[in-house]
Amino acid sequence: MIHFTLYSRTYCHLCDDMLVALRALEIMSPMLITVVDVDADETLVAQYDELVPVLFASRDGHLGQQLCHYFLDEAAVWAFIAEA
């Protein structure tokens, strides 16, 4: 199964928008979506502070691949799904 990790933060309209857009794709392809609040971890803030939302994808427990940030790149998501 494909696992998407969305690095996000509370009160971020871009984060909310990306999650809604990703959930819309969930209807067409099975996926697991995990939302991680970057503000809960200083290391994540240092990595992603100005980039949130950031979307990573992984499959079969392999290291995740960054697909996009700020806005959902549907083409990148579908390309990742197609490779699976």
pLDDT (tens digit, 9 = 90+) per residue, 30-84?
A: 899 999 999 999 999 999 999 999 999 998 877 689 999 999 999 999 999 998 7
The whole-number average pLDDT for the span 5-9 is 97
- In the predicted model, what is the mean pLDDT of the chain? 93
CB 64 within 8 A of CB 9: no
Tokens 């067409």, located at residue: 28
3-state SS, 25-82, equals HHCCCCEEEEEEEHHHCHHHHHHHCCCCCEEEEEECCCCCEEEEECCCCHHHHHHHHH
At residue 40, the pLDDT reads 96
Domain ranges of the chain: 2-83
Question: What is the per-residue pLDDT for 12?
Answer: 96
Give the domain 2-83 fold: Glutaredoxin (3.40.30)
Is the pTM higher than 0.95? The answer reads no
